[in-house]
Amino acid sequence: MSAFILSGLVIGSIYAISALGLVLTYTSSRVLNFAHGALAYFAAVFYYWLNNQQGWSIPAAAIVTILVMCPALGLFLWAILFRRLTHAPSEVRFVSTVGLWVALPALTKILFPFSKTETFDAQGLVKSPPDIFNVLGINVNENQAAVLISAVIVVVTLTIVLRATPIGLTTRATVDSPRTARISGINTSAITAGSWMAGTALAGFAGVLLTPILGLSEIQFTFLLVVSLAAAVIGRLTSLPLTFAGAMAIGLIQGISVDFLPDEGVLARGFRPSLPFVAMLIALLAYQGLRRERFEVDLRAGPAEERAPVPERWRGWRAAIGPLTLCIILLSVPLWLDDFWVGVVSQGIALAILYLTFTLVIGEGGMLSLCQITLAGIGAFSAARLAAESGVPVGVALLAGAAIAVPIGLVVALISLRLGDIYLALATLAFALLVENLVFARSDFENFGAGVALARPVFLGIDFNDRTNFYLLLVAVFLLSALLIATLRRATSGMVFAALRSSETASATTGIGVVRTKLILFAASSFIAGLGGGLLAMTIGRATTTTFNLLVGVVWIAIVVTWGVRSVVGALLAGIIFAVIPQQLSLILVLIAVMIVAGLIVRLIITKSIRTPIGAISGVMLLIGGIFIVRWLLDIEVSESWVDVPTMLFGLGAIGLAREPQGLVADTINRFRLRRIRTEARLLNTQSQVGT
């Protein structure tokens, strides 16, 4: 028993170090960093590289990683990203850090190719294998001792710094009220920068300590993130002592549970991942009374930042040009692509249907759901098992699967939505991890990687096993869903969604049912997720656990945001590109290179600097350089090592385009129109000033 308590304390200490870093950065900047686990992962890989591969001694590697590299990385990220996010709308904050969560592990794998495979021989802060010694009758190994001592050091240092130094006083002032702190002459930027440096260092510290215990794999660090978030929720995202206690409690329960649980089976595998969800659930239900506080925070927050308006839509017959062209291109695909590529594009369309769930939930609702892929998986597995076991016709099973996803999605939304958007993100993340480990990992779902087969339907005398027929079915479903979304957006509901995204406070006082509207949107998006999941499984032929993996879902968010999270065309492009990546990596890379160059040139034109000599020269250079890059990319053999490049770029794309919900293509075009509107607005401003 005491051994289990000890191991619980050890793992709890690691969770606590990580969670303290997370809360520290959140309180100082109001940005909840979903890349916290990714930062820990990067630091752990970096430490492994220094220590195991470069042969640095443990102290040198530890100091360089935790006290030099991590703070520098934190400072860098603060300067280029987090600093700008404090006053951004909540979905921008969310999507940006999710983008970083996608980009950072991909970058890690590009920089340190060894990290593509899991390694288990990492050393922590003591040499491996650690010596074992006896304290009060309990066998403690050096590694465990090192972790416990580290936790004590972190807690003591934080307490001293925050409670007994001027830095602590100014930090607490900044956390309480940034504006008042600024007015009283506190350099709040330095405080937030400092807390990001400290927070990143704590993430790295946790990463270095975690590796020898759980191995160096990305998924372990996702789990670290989720536990840290759960602990942070227990601390109501602000209280360091409560967060610490929460993390320790989760660690202890996890450690002690080993003593009671069976060695094999779902319960043994599922208990650990379900812990953070259960902890979060209890905390969320306990904190339901927090609503008043939330509104107070809203009322006292700093000024909301200006947002780019949606440009006017074309009206009349011109409004039909875009959709018609889209239909023609999509329907004609079987005419100009061979069977193989029709299959690839089919998968893309199935993904695109699924991605419309993000269009609704993030794009329209501004809600930060991380469990859409899980809902898709629920839809797919339900459909597949219904069809296989109950003999329900496949088409009916598909719709039933989608319908099953709705109440499940609603429950997750319901327990968290009243507390605010950030809690929805947390609850959906924990829920995704829970289902993935407790349900999808069951042997009757996972089936040694083969999953559950899902046949294509035959109805009305049409055999959808035929590639072209099935492709056309998918296109029909996509176009219908897209049409429904577009209709909704143009109606009163569209205005209601836009109002909610801009100001929940004013929406509420105008009489709009905030929670009600969001629940409806969430239900609709769950249905689309379930339907798309089923269709995707049908396209592949089976519903598998690997298709509906949380980390894949995060990449999906990044890619959809890059191509336009509020645009159905964005969902379509994202789906097709995600399906094409494994087939034609170089093509995608060329496409991205072209987009980057084109985007830069458009920006040069808009800022008018292209009319200056330097601007003109740089424009021409970009063009020539772009052509060379494209040619070079087309010529090179794309090897394994490039696999992570698109993922990284889409992560970066999500960061860069988080503020521009229309996505890359539309945004580039819109910039021209926006400039015109801005000029007019400026004229209006001057006129009204002259008037007074």
Contact set with another protein (CB under 8 A):
292, 295-296, 298-299, 303, 306-310, 312, 484, 487-488, 490-496, 498-499, 501-503, 505-514, 516-517, 520, 677-678, 681, 684-685, 688-689, 691-692
| Distance of closest approach, residue 677 Cβ to another protein, in angstroms | 6
Within 418-503, where are the H helices? 421-438, 443-446, 467-490, 492-502
The closest alpha carbon to 144, from 11, 4, 2, 1, belongs to: 11
Specify the residue, 57 or 686, whose C-beta has the smaller distance to another protein.
686
| Distance of closest approach, residue 362 Cβ to another protein, in angstroms | 15
The closest alpha carbon to 377, from 434, 455, 315, belongs to: 434
Which tokens is 273 given? 């991942």
Specify the residue, 311 or 619, whose C-beta has the smaller distance to another protein.
311
Specify the residue, 134 or 509, whose C-beta has the smaller distance to another protein.
509
Specify the residue, 512 or 602, whose C-beta has the smaller distance to another protein.
512
| Distance of closest approach, residue 87 Cβ to another protein, in angstroms | 13
Which tokens is 191 given? 């405080």
Specify the residue, 308 or 453, whose C-beta has the smaller distance to another protein.
308
Which tokens is 129 given? 């294998």
Those residues whose C-beta lies under 8 Å from the C-beta of residue 484, and which sit 6 or more positions away, are: none
Specify the residue, 194 or 530, whose C-beta has the smaller distance to another protein.
530
| Distance of closest approach, residue 249 Cβ to another protein, in angstroms | 28
Specify the residue, 311 or 615, whose C-beta has the smaller distance to another protein.
311
Q: Would you state the torsion angle of the CA atoms of residues 538, 384, 360, 565, taken in this order, to the nearest 10 degrees? A: -40
Those residues whose C-beta lies under 8 Å from the C-beta of residue 127, and which sit 6 or more positions away, are: 58
d(CA 30, CA 97): 12
Are 489 and 310 spatial neighbours (Cβ–Cβ below 8 Å)?
Answer: no
d(CA 51, CA 44): 10
Q: What are the angstrom distances between the C-alpha of 397 and each of 10, 383, 387, 401, 632? A: 47, 5, 6, 6, 48
| Distance of closest approach, residue 363 Cβ to another protein, in angstroms | 12
Q: Regarding beta strands 462-463 and 458-459, do their DSSP bridges make them parallel or antiparallel, or are they unpaired? A: antiparallel
Specify the residue, 144 or 174, whose C-beta has the smaller distance to another protein.
174
* 3-state DSSP assignment of residue 86: coil
Phi, psi (deg, nearest 5) at residue 89? -60, 155
| Distance of closest approach, residue 528 Cβ to another protein, in angstroms | 13
| Distance of closest approach, residue 668 Cβ to another protein, in angstroms | 19
| Distance of closest approach, residue 485 Cβ to another protein, in angstroms | 9
Specify the residue, 390 or 685, whose C-beta has the smaller distance to another protein.
685
Are 383 and 565 spatial neighbours (Cβ–Cβ below 8 Å)?
Answer: no
The closest alpha carbon to 155, from 223, 276, 235, 243, belongs to: 243
In degrees, rounded to 5, the angle at the alpha carbon of residue 447 between the alpha carbons of residues 445 and 448 is 135
Specify the residue, 177 or 586, whose C-beta has the smaller distance to another protein.
177
| Distance of closest approach, residue 258 Cβ to another protein, in angstroms | 43
Specify the residue, 27 or 517, whose C-beta has the smaller distance to another protein.
517
d(CA 661, CA 654): 10
| Distance of closest approach, residue 477 Cβ to another protein, in angstroms | 16
Are 144 and 10 spatial neighbours (Cβ–Cβ below 8 Å)?
Answer: yes
Q: What's the N-to-C CA distance of the chain in angstroms?
A: 79
| Distance of closest approach, residue 508 Cβ to another protein, in angstroms | 4
How many of the other CB atoms lie within 10 Å of CB of 608?
10
d(CA 457, CA 464): 6
Specify the residue, 385 or 418, whose C-beta has the smaller distance to another protein.
418
| Distance of closest approach, residue 13 Cβ to another protein, in angstroms | 32
